[in-house]
Structure 1
Amino acid sequence: MSKQPFLIAMTFMSIIIGGGFASGQEVLQFFTGYGVIGIAGTLVSALLFAFLGMQIARMSSSMQARSHKEVLVALFGTRAGLAIDLVLSFFLFGVGVVMLAGSGSIFAQQYGLPPLFGGVLLSVLVILTLCLRVRGIINLISAIMPVLLLLVLTITVYSFFTSSASLETLEAVATEVPTISKGWPVSHWFIGALLYASFNIAVGFPMLSVIGGLTRDSREAALGGILGGVGLGVLIFLLNIGLFANLERLVGVDMPSLMLATAVSPLVAMVMSLALICMIYSTAVGMFFAFTARFATPETSRFKVFSVLFTTVGLVLSQFGFSTLIGTVYPMLGVVGLVLIVALGYRWHTARREARAGLASSSSY
């Protein structure tokens, strides 16, 4: 077997694991806040990630798609595909806003500075990167991913084994955590798991479509999607149990992973905060670049002006707060992802039905 499936898997995971995941806030709201049953939610998300990753990569490989727009047109038709693309772009801007808010939360929680300081600093870095085309910085930040994952896993495993809270206490505290579906007509762990997979697929769909289209063997592309989904599931599971074991210390905290790192040692917390800032920066650049590119050609004067405008607007909106924005923007993006899930599931069902019909007709001769 070639290395291509593993390359697709690692890229798939890198797309999904951004600043929101590493901070622990996503996992806290989508899984941990439901208590022990949230573990079942991580398994549901893992299965969905594996299936959807397989389907997107295989479909784009079969089409040899050069952009995600071709896959959207194949799924929804020309007009509906364009509409979905525009809505998706709008919510990707929302993810960029969440990253600006996350930067403010890191500087406030770790260094005692006003949240606006972190937001302004990241906004300036994002604008400079988009205007000056500093590709080397993004490549350097990408190298932080393995370090960040190792930190997160080490901290959560350490926190799990050093936790002394009883299961009854943790279940009681979980009721105080603002989960995604609390306040909905139906609050259920399955809804959290479904929305988590759907909003992340919406975020990762454009890049995964392109990567799949670069792979000639659709079976290898599908395997890469499956491996990436399973890997994501393992990471979510481990982070979730680490957060749950220490939930009594994390209620109302914007950066749960950073709080756990502080409990290990101040040095680990400092390294963790720097790694989080790097990941948030990388995610923010990607989101604002994709959104701005919808309105102007990259590297033009118009693109630079729009980069400044959109990032500044994002900074203003980011003042609503990291936790609040995650609880608002991500479920809305999840609805867009649900549309994608339904379309991908229907496409998979149709392809299987046609394949069975083909086998039946060939066997009749």
Structure 2
Amino acid sequence: MKKIMKIGSAFIGIIVGAGLASGQEILQYFTSFGLWGIAGAVVTTVLFAYIGMMLVWMGSRAKQPSHKEVIYGVSGRFLGLVIDYILIFTLFGVGVVMVAGAGSNLNQQFSIPIVAGTTLMTILLLLTGMLNVDRVVTIISSITPFLIIFVVIVSIYSFMTMDDSYNNLGSIAREQPTNLPNWFISAINYVSFNTAVGASMAIVTGAAEANRKTAALGGLAGGVGLGLIILLSHLAVFAKIKEVGSLELPTLGIVNDISPILGVIMSLVLFAMIFNTAISMFFSFSARFIEAGTKTFRIFFAITVIVGYAASFVGFTDLVSSLYPFIGYLGLVLILVLIIAPFKIRKEE
């Protein structure tokens, strides 16, 4: 059970980065559709449960140091090449968004210049990238429970202090900008995007677990937990949409409304979750090209992070609204492969 929870926490930690933990993704993908965002959250929970189980199980089965061999193995040469390049693009792109999110986080909470937050995150990434994969997974999984506690607190507070009707809040929520056409497409796009985000590190995480059943259950638990976090976060942001709809980090805004002290703590937890996803992205990106743990890997990793740091100055909200939906549409290819993967593997075995 301990291993299952560790894998599940790691899967959640990989995906919960700046966008989700801050509430900005939730706002754009779910809350902007009003009460229909609840239906979207339910759809994402079901899909994440299956996808989390499949990704970690495939990693445990293949025991490969990167996603490349696993993806090519289940999708063939041509389709494997397409998915491989989608994942490579996603890993670097989301890593850049995380670095930008670190700057926005500290800026909103402490009025620290954005460049200071992004620089601090970059330094932490460079230091952590020198560790082996087991240590990285342990670090990622250890931070997740703190986020879950805050999501529950925020959700309870938001509902207890909601001062308007569901219909009025729904009208305000639907005025929020989004690049998605409706709640169903938005939910599918969100799962697809996050599958592209989490696939590589989830496979690497599974490769570190010898027992396939334990790996699969860990991925399943992570997917369900992730879906519940999304649902609670949506309900919290929806209940306080009038107060936080214009903020870059809506969840942090709600916590600050509860207590300035809790706001400081939440900001640090949020920074840690951003770090979780950032290290997952840059570590997996580098592992795709160079064997992890080697001197060459560390040099390549450092160069990648520094380039990502330079690219992060585009801005957090702009990156989320433009890059994420695009990656989501690309990631649909990977979801289709994961659906047919069990049948193909069963035939081969």
TM-score (norm 2): 0.87
Asked if 2 retains the 8 angstrom alpha-carbon contact of 1:61 and 1:217, the reply is yes
Asked if 1 retains the 8 angstrom alpha-carbon contact of 2:197 and 2:281, the reply is no
| Cα distance in 2, alignment partners of residues 244 and 29 from structure 1 | 11
Offset of residue 158 of structure 1 = 0.9
- Identify if the C-alpha distance between structure 1 residues 260 and 98 changes in structure 2 by more than 3 Å, giving closer, same or farther: same
Q: CA RMSD in A?
A: 3.0
**Where does 1:161-180 land on structure 2 (aligned, <5 Å)?**
161-180=160-179
Asked if 1 retains the 8 angstrom alpha-carbon contact of 2:200 and 2:284, the reply is no
Offset of residue 65 of structure 1 = 5.5
Which residue type is aligned with residue 118 of structure 1? G
Asked if 1 retains the 8 angstrom alpha-carbon contact of 2:83 and 2:334, the reply is no
User: Which residue does 2:157 correspond to in 1?
Assistant: 158
Asked if 1 retains the 8 angstrom alpha-carbon contact of 2:201 and 2:281, the reply is no
| Cα distance in 2, alignment partners of residues 130 and 35 from structure 1 | 40
SS at match of 1:205: helix
Determine if the alignment matches structure 1 residue 291 to structure 2 residue 285.
yes
User: Which residue does 1:361 correspond to in 2?
Assistant: none
- Identify if the C-alpha distance between structure 1 residues 169 and 110 changes in structure 2 by more than 3 Å, giving closer, same or farther: same
- Identify if the C-alpha distance between structure 1 residues 48 and 317 changes in structure 2 by more than 3 Å, giving closer, same or farther: same
The structure 2 residue matched to 1:189, chosen from 183, 203, 208, is 183
User: Which residue does 2:198 correspond to in 1?
Assistant: 204
- Identify if the C-alpha distance between structure 1 residues 95 and 275 changes in structure 2 by more than 3 Å, giving closer, same or farther: same
State the Cα deviation string for residues 298-349 of structure 1 (Å, max 9, x = none): 5666545544443333223222221111122222222332111111223346
Unaligned runs of 5+ in 2: none
The structure 2 residue matched to 1:266, chosen from 257, 260, 269, is 260
SS at match of 1:253: coil
Deviating 4+ runs (over 6 angstroms): 132-138
Offset of residue 127 of structure 1 = 2.7
Asked if 2 retains the 8 angstrom alpha-carbon contact of 1:61 and 1:215, the reply is yes
- Identify if the C-alpha distance between structure 1 residues 327 and 103 changes in structure 2 by more than 3 Å, giving closer, same or farther: same
Which residue type is aligned with residue 25 of structure 1? Q
- Identify if the C-alpha distance between structure 1 residues 125 and 165 changes in structure 2 by more than 3 Å, giving closer, same or farther: same
Which residue type is aligned with residue 171 of structure 1? G
Offset of residue 179 of structure 1 = 2.1
SS at match of 2:129: helix
User: Which residue does 2:44 correspond to in 1?
Assistant: 45
| Cα distance in 1, alignment partners of residues 62 and 120 from structure 2 | 42
State the Cα deviation string for residues 15-62 of structure 1 (Å, max 9, x = none): 222333211111111111110001000000011111222333444455
SS at match of 2:269: helix
| Cα distance in 2, alignment partners of residues 60 and 151 from structure 1 | 31
Offset of residue 156 of structure 1 = 2.3
State the Cα deviation string for residues 98-140 of structure 1 (Å, max 9, x = none): 1111111112211123322212222233234436889979856
| Cα distance in 1, alignment partners of residues 217 and 138 from structure 2 | 26
User: Which residue does 1:84 correspond to in 2?
Assistant: 83
Unaligned runs of 5+ in 1: 182-186, 356-365
- Identify if the C-alpha distance between structure 1 residues 265 and 54 changes in structure 2 by more than 3 Å, giving closer, same or farther: same
Which residue type is aligned with residue 49 of structure 2? A
- Identify if the C-alpha distance between structure 1 residues 298 and 56 changes in structure 2 by more than 3 Å, giving closer, same or farther: closer
Asked if 1 retains the 8 angstrom alpha-carbon contact of 2:11 and 2:219, the reply is yes
| Cα distance in 2, alignment partners of residues 222 and 140 from structure 1 | 21
Which residue type is aligned with residue 262 of structure 1? N
SS at match of 1:163: coil
Asked if 2 retains the 8 angstrom alpha-carbon contact of 1:65 and 1:214, the reply is no
User: Which residue does 2:94 correspond to in 1?
Assistant: 95
| Cα distance in 2, alignment partners of residues 222 and 255 from structure 1 | 33
- Identify if the C-alpha distance between structure 1 residues 64 and 284 changes in structure 2 by more than 3 Å, giving closer, same or farther: closer
Asked if 2 retains the 8 angstrom alpha-carbon contact of 1:91 and 1:329, the reply is no
Which residue type is aligned with residue 118 of structure 2? G
Q: Aligned pairs, how many?
A: 348
Asked if 1 retains the 8 angstrom alpha-carbon contact of 2:86 and 2:196, the reply is no
| Cα distance in 1, alignment partners of residues 215 and 123 from structure 2 | 38
The structure 2 residue matched to 1:245, chosen from 227, 239, 242, is 239
